[in-house]
Structure 1
Amino acid sequence: MKLLILGGTRFLGRFLTETALQKGHEVTLFNRGKENPDLFPEAEKLIGDRNNNLTALEGRTWDAVIDTCGFVPWTVRESAELLAGAVGHYTFISSASVYNNLENPGIDENHSVNLLPPGKVEELEKEAAAPASYEYYGELKYLCEQEVKRAYPERNLIVRAGLIVGPYDYSDRFNYWVSRLAKGGKVLAPGRKSKKVQFIDVRDLAEWILRMVEENVAGTFNATGPESPLTMEQFLEECKAATGSDAELVWADEEFLLSNGVQYWSEMPLWIPDRENMDGFLAIDIGKALRNGLVFRPLSDTVRDTLEWESGRAAGDRKAGLDAEKEKAVLEKWKERAV
């Protein structure tokens, strides 16, 4: 199969490219050539910028395209329309962030989505605004989906991914817990032990997407994991076991954490307090993807592989996770409160 990947050298795109090459596909990458340019010498590389220069894509044909880096509808529109007559199947990597009304678990692909107010997309396009602040991330992703569907009404695959984790994940959300548990000692753990969490190993997602593309599947799919419900306690205990850690989990209630300045999601990744009424956000229904062959490797493998990659990174700031000194101070306050 002749496969075009828009992006293809960072995280999910990296593993999509790697998997496609391993399976013997003829891969072309289109990107700016700035992110890991030396990766995949066996792939064809076209240099351009989807924001203002698609010239390298003109006059070419492929069996399928996977769009890993579309964030605003006006740029997705240009690539989708340009490739409409040149590519047989268009896969767009969207996000579960398109959904609204997140109170209840079991959000499926027919759930209501976030919409921009009238005129807002035109205002953003005029300003050439990208969702760097993520203020309209979900809304813009949904509009990107619509552009793909307009250009490929019967030939589109929309993948609404949840939190993607594993090696080369620079968001540091999953990595924080893996590396923190591996260090051992008293580890501050957030809120209810039974709180549900969801994420998917980037390699499992990449392999499933490639199978869907090979089979020319169309439609919209939620794609996260694991297959069975996973609680925060089970996740942290798995991190502890997989890393051979002697860590002691210290569970503090959410009101205590919030009153002591602990930020959920950023400092305590994968934790959303009950008072936010967002139980559906990490309890997405993935039944449709499971029925279409989505499978998962053992969580312990993801933990160990992530730790191996994380241990090779240079020391420095991380995008998520609780500072060691702050954790120590909060643990001391929790101990004093218990006394």
Structure 2
Amino acid sequence: MTRRDLLKLGALAGAATMIPRALAQASAPAPKPKPVHVDALDGVARAAQPLNILILGGTGFTGPHQVRYALARGHKLTLFNRGRRPKEWPAEVEELTGDRETSDVKSLAGRTWDVCIDNPTSVPHWVRDVGRVLQGRVKQYVFISTLSAYADTATAGMTEDAPLAKYTGPDVMQETRATLLANLALYGPLKAACEQEAEKWFPGLTTVIRPTLIVGPGDDTDRFTYWPVRIARGGEVLAPPPEDPVQLIDARDLAEWTIRLCEQRAFGAFNGVGPAAELSTAALLHGVRAAVGGDARFTFTTAEFLARQRVQAWSDLPVWVPGQGETLGFHRVSGRKSVASGLTYRPLAVTAADTLAYWKALPEDRRAQPKAGLRPEREAEVLRAWHARPAG
């Protein structure tokens, strides 16, 4: 797998959760809220200094977790989206509407907030438009970026000062989500350009978070979800090389840490990666099995074999990418700075069990159409090929 392939798969997965939702909001009533596992937040301590927080895109994957945690910490919240979802939020959450794709951000004009958290942006003109109305009106701008913003993933231990991808097209401000979908290799460069645009409008007040694969209840891409669901089904499970590393972050850990960074007024870039210690593919799968139960038996294969069978990393066997070559460093990114700033992690067992519970609560027709992972018949075909390969 090349870096270009990985960027395409990552961008496609991200775009798949954003664009259809945005189009639906523009033409249909607010959808029925998705079932999302709710943690008990009664014991969360109130923040020493309540903040007035604006969240752009607070209704997606990580947004609802941000909202709930921020409310538990005693903060005041305003959400900006294309459509209202009055049944999804308690009365104390203010909702503003607009359309960033058409530069309609007038509902933000003339207002002030302590913090603005920008969750869904993947094209720079969205940052520019918000910057024009919020410059001088927020004390901190938090941009949720991606590890794909880095120029390459071939080096292990990459820190936040590693080189970023460069946009080489004709005009970065003319790029839209439609042009991104047409050329998914733009995903990393456009995210990097968004970071630079944020610093232009909010110099010295910008916080950039570059997450790895975001997982857990509420994930609509089914990438990590494939493993708890497949392992719970039991039987022989096709698995990637056992020694390759894996990094992921529970959406709730990411969301809660983001709010704490706001409370600290922590500026600069942070890698949103986890867990704290390196996790191998084998440890991941065995950990999921311990959490969900069942009699799953893992058949670990090799990257070379999977390539010959046209089994795609990241999509057919989600979460995993080869731990060598152009993706050697993709799952070996340094998270030391983030841990020092207060990033904490739920146990893998909690993430796995809650993800499976979330999946089981989805409608049957949705569960019949998983968006990632191998179909049972295709998995069985590849397993037969593995067992029939020549000895040695």
**TM-score grouping bracket, smaller chain normalisation:** over 0.9
Report what 2:256 is aligned to. Answer: 207
CA RMSD of aligned residues (A): 1.8
Rounded to whole Å, the distance in 1 between the matches of 2:59 and 2:174 is: 31
Q: Residue by residue, what CA displacement relative to the aligned partner does 1:166-195 show, whole Å, maximum 9, x if unpaired?
A: 0011111110011111111000001x2110
- Among 379, 384, 388, the alignment partner of 1:327 is 379
Instruction: State the 1:273 CA deviation.
Output: 2.9
Rounded to whole Å, the distance in 1 between the matches of 2:100 and 2:185 is: 22
- Identical aligned pairs, as a percentage? 40
**Alpha carbons 1:20, 1:210 under 8 Å: kept:** yes
Rounded to whole Å, the distance in 1 between the matches of 2:130 and 2:260 is: 23
Report what 1:46 is aligned to. Answer: 96
Rounded to whole Å, the distance in 1 between the matches of 2:321 and 2:361 is: 29
Report what 1:83 is aligned to. Answer: 134
- Return 5+ residue gaps in structure 1 as ranges: none
Q: Residue by residue, what CA displacement relative to the aligned partner does 1:235-288 show, whole Å, maximum 9, x if unpaired?
A: 000011111121000112222222122122110112223564311111111111
**Alpha carbons 2:224, 2:318 under 8 Å: kept:** yes
Q: Is the counterpart of residue 94 in structure 1 residue 94 in structure 2?
A: no
Q: Is the counterpart of residue 219 in structure 1 residue 268 in structure 2?
A: yes
Rounded to whole Å, the distance in 2 between the matches of 1:87 and 1:278 is: 38
**Alpha carbons 1:9, 1:37 under 8 Å: kept:** no
Note the 1:14-29 alignment, pairs <5 A: 14-29=64-79
Report what 1:265 is aligned to. Answer: 314
Rounded to whole Å, the distance in 2 between the matches of 1:60 and 1:121 is: 28
Instruction: State the 1:145 CA deviation.
Output: 0.7
Q: Structure 1 pair 268/57, CA: closer, same or farther in 2 (3 Å)?
A: same
Aligned residues: 336
- Return 5+ residue gaps in structure 2 as ranges: 1-50
Normalising by structure 1, what TM-score? 0.94
Instruction: State the 1:331 CA deviation.
Output: 1.1
- Among 247, 267, 288, the alignment partner of 1:198 is 247
Q: Structure 1 pair 104/130, CA: closer, same or farther in 2 (3 Å)?
A: closer
**Alpha carbons 2:180, 2:186 under 8 Å: kept:** no
Instruction: State the 1:119 CA deviation.
Output: 2.6
Rounded to whole Å, the distance in 2 between the matches of 1:232 and 1:213 is: 33
Rounded to whole Å, the distance in 2 between the matches of 1:78 and 1:11 is: 23
Q: Residue by residue, what CA displacement relative to the aligned partner does 1:6-65 show, whole Å, maximum 9, x if unpaired?
A: 01011111111111112121110000016x553113211111112221111111111111
Rounded to whole Å, the distance in 2 between the matches of 1:96 and 1:185 is: 34
**Alpha carbons 1:72, 1:131 under 8 Å: kept:** no
Q: Structure 1 pair 188/118, CA: closer, same or farther in 2 (3 Å)?
A: closer
Report what 1:2 is aligned to. Answer: 52
Rounded to whole Å, the distance in 1 between the matches of 2:152 and 2:214 is: 22
**Alpha carbons 2:247, 2:275 under 8 Å: kept:** yes
Task: Tell me the SS of whatever aligns to 1:3.
Answer: strand
Q: Structure 1 pair 310/13, CA: closer, same or farther in 2 (3 Å)?
A: same
Rounded to whole Å, the distance in 1 between the matches of 2:115 and 2:168 is: 33
Rounded to whole Å, the distance in 2 between the matches of 1:280 and 1:267 is: 20
Q: Is the counterpart of residue 30 in structure 1 residue 80 in structure 2?
A: yes
